[in-house]
Structure 1
Amino acid sequence: MSKIYLNNEYINIANVNIYCEYKLNNKPPLLLLHGFVSSTYTFNKLIPLLSEHFSIIAIDLPGFGKSEKSKSFVYSFESYASLVVECMKHFEINKVSIVGHSMGGQIALYIAKSNPELIDTLILLCSSGYRARAKKILIYCSYLPLFTYIAKKWIQQKDIQKTLETVFYNKSHIHEELIKEFSRPLQEKAFYCSLVRLLRHREGDLHSFDLRKIHIPTLLLWGENDRVVPVHVGEKLKDDLPNAKLVTYKETGHLITEERVKEVFKEITAYLKT
């Protein structure tokens, strides 16, 4: 398959410079949301396949990837959800299907809760779910002068390859470019400030009683060997979301867009055409 070239630009939303990649081609729009400590690179193998059938918009969420590591943005799911809605307005899109991986899936659910009229379909890939807010003592400690410095040292001492091994079942999928992309933000001082603000501001994931009110058609795709968000989370989401379908893959970890890209593509296109 020939390489697909997307437009890319920075747009200012909520006083934050947001990096986005897009291809608008008068086809049904898909909006792609990456997960925690990730970026649009999450979808680098999936976008060329999807862009043959859909308009594509992928953004780096504030604090991640190439987007601004703002010191004023409130890093809550509600703020992220509102920002995504504003991105839709920027691109003059009235309704969209959202593909959310990991934390991006939880943000998609927050949008579905607050603005269901804007979403056609949810595609949740190993979505985070049922996580509580950080403990109060940790939130309080985050205001201590040295907390960000300590967090930076703790993260930087971790081996990036060993960290990536936790998101894969098949370790052979880990390659130099992947390591480089996931290492990039670790060199930015402001990145650690963003992580601390996310710790402070992030609400808990939506409760079951909220999820049961979301009637949007939802496709859940999961790796059965996911060690980050175990498959039982997907099974519970399937039970709580009134209009959900769960598909799982054997011998597959958390980064399903790398390990099962062709299968994920086929499931998404088949589901959106039904």
Structure 2
Amino acid sequence: MSNSVPAKISLEQWQASGHYFNHKYGDIFYRTHPSIFIGSKSKEQNQPSEKPVLLLIHGFPTSSWDWHKLWFPLSEHYQLVAADMLGFGFSDKPKSSDYRIGEQADIQEDLLQHLGISSYHILAHDYGDTVTQELLARNIKRLGTIKSVALLNGGLFPETHQPLLVQKLLLSPIGSIVSRLMTEKKFQSSFDTICKQPIGVDELAGFWQQVQYNQGQKIFHKLIRYISERRLHRERWVSALQHLSPPIALINGSADPISGAHMVSRYRELVRNEYIYEIPDAGHYPQMETPSRVLDAFLAFEKDCSE
């Protein structure tokens, strides 16, 4: 039986219940559940929580709001932490930053340390998968920090990643011009291309609203450089998946033209892993398109690997 997914959280509600972490790279917006907690002790309850911590890491070009349909169902099982990475959502978007994956991983680790968290699980998507691969590479020398990882559609292998035309243009010498010419209509049309199930009009408007926050559309050509970093650091990041410690699951929307069934085939070739969950009727954003299916797969994986 599928787990039920309740009504969505509006972008306004999401922002209103968030906090800011003052990091050396910039101010980082984040949310937690319980709303304020330090490590495993909730300030609301003033007593230790028995629930483990789940770190949610979003994709490009959106934000932590990507997880709003899963927020309450996941909170029944976990304490939750989700941040807008530097350059995304309601976080700072400095024009001087290079937006390297290593820096994004630093921010995740520093936020967790700020909250007093020493061990955690990860659920990540797209760009967040790449950040997670870097965290996994670091975790090899810090056994026990990351307890489990679940990855949604992402370019885990540069040789199978099939970027959209607009992504190729953003990576080109005219990338800064393409960034400045980005419009809401062009932005939203890309979701029609990559998603099997349509994203709601209000949600698409919310995505664009967050892109425009702090003029984020002007740095798209910098954020997109993670695609080049994947090629540069392929050995390190693919090896981190092959290490298979902690347990890793792949939950993938098969109809994704960027990282769909073709990426899963390559994953089966390179990673010996029994935890593969394919969702045929989902595209690049399965957590938005088929949230109940993602929830079912994630909870089944967590139950399986904890037994």
SS in 1 for 2:180: helix
SS in 1 for 2:22: strand
Q: Which runs of 5+ in 1 are unaligned?
A: none
Distance 1:170 1:138 in 2: 26
Distance 2:274 2:96 in 1: 36
Distance 2:219 2:286 in 1: 26
1:235 maps to 2:265: yes
1:8 maps to 2:18: yes
Q: CA deviation at 1:211?
A: 3.5
**1:203 aligned to 229, 238, 242, which one?**
229
Q: CA deviation at 1:227?
A: 1.5
Q: Is the 8 A contact 2:184 2:208 kept in 1?
A: no
Q: Is the 8 A contact 1:39 1:64 kept in 2?
A: yes
Distance 2:108 2:98 in 1: 14
Distance 1:21 1:210 in 2: 28
1:184 maps to 2:209: yes
Q: Which runs of 5+ in 2 are unaligned?
A: 1-5, 35-41, 43-48, 164-168
Q: Is the 8 A contact 1:166 1:228 kept in 2?
A: no
Alignment TM-score, normalising by the size of structure 2: 0.76
**1:123 aligned to 145, 150, 175, which one?**
150
**1:111 aligned to 135, 152, 160, which one?**
135
Q: Cα–Cα, structure 1 residues 265 and 210, in superposed 2: closer, same or farther, change >3 Å?
A: closer
**Equivalent position amino acid for 2:204 in 1:** I
Q: Is the 8 A contact 1:127 1:234 kept in 2?
A: no
Match of 2:93 in 1: 69
Superposed, 1:93-108 pairs within 5 Å as 93-108=117-132
1:164 maps to 2:203: no
Match of 1:43 in 2: 67
Match of 2:107 in 1: 83
Distance 1:255 1:57 in 2: 20
Q: CA deviation at 1:100?
A: 0.5
Distance 2:268 2:191 in 1: 27
1:55 maps to 2:83: no
Q: Is the 8 A contact 2:28 2:84 kept in 1?
A: yes
CA distances 1:101-144 after superposition (whole Å, capped 9, x unpaired): 1111111111000124321111101122222799xx987836xx
The number of residue pairs the alignment matches comes to 265
Q: CA deviation at 1:242?
A: 4.3
Q: Cα–Cα, structure 1 residues 158 and 90, in superposed 2: closer, same or farther, change >3 Å?
A: same
**Equivalent position amino acid for 1:184 in 2:** Q
Distance 1:66 1:189 in 2: 8
Q: Is the 8 A contact 2:170 2:220 kept in 1?
A: no
Distance 2:274 2:106 in 1: 24
Distance 1:50 1:231 in 2: 26
Indicate the larger mover: 59-68 or 195-204.
195-204
Q: CA deviation at 1:231?
A: 2.0
Q: CA deviation at 1:148?
A: 2.6
Distance 1:249 1:2 in 2: 22
**Equivalent position amino acid for 1:94 in 2:** S
Aligned residues: CA RMSD? 2.9
Instruction: Report the identity percentage.
Output: 24
Q: Is the 8 A contact 2:61 2:211 kept in 1?
A: no
Distance 2:108 2:301 in 1: 23
Q: Is the 8 A contact 1:215 1:243 kept in 2?
A: no
Q: Is the 8 A contact 1:29 1:54 kept in 2?
A: yes
Distance 1:19 1:89 in 2: 15
Q: CA deviation at 1:265?
A: 1.0
CA distances 1:29-68 after superposition (whole Å, capped 9, x unpaired): 1000110111112111011110111000011011011111
**Equivalent position amino acid for 2:20 in 1:** Y
Match of 1:32 in 2: 56
**Equivalent position amino acid for 1:131 in 2:** P
**1:141 aligned to 173, 198, 209, which one?**
173
1:212 maps to 2:242: yes
Indicate the larger mover: 18-27 or 120-129.
18-27
CA distances 1:235-267 after superposition (whole Å, capped 9, x unpaired): 323443344521101221111012221121122
**1:19 aligned to 26, 29, 40, which one?**
29
Distance 2:132 2:31 in 1: 18
Q: Cα–Cα, structure 1 residues 193 and 179, in superposed 2: closer, same or farther, change >3 Å?
A: closer
Q: CA deviation at 1:163?
A: 1.7
Distance 2:184 2:57 in 1: 28
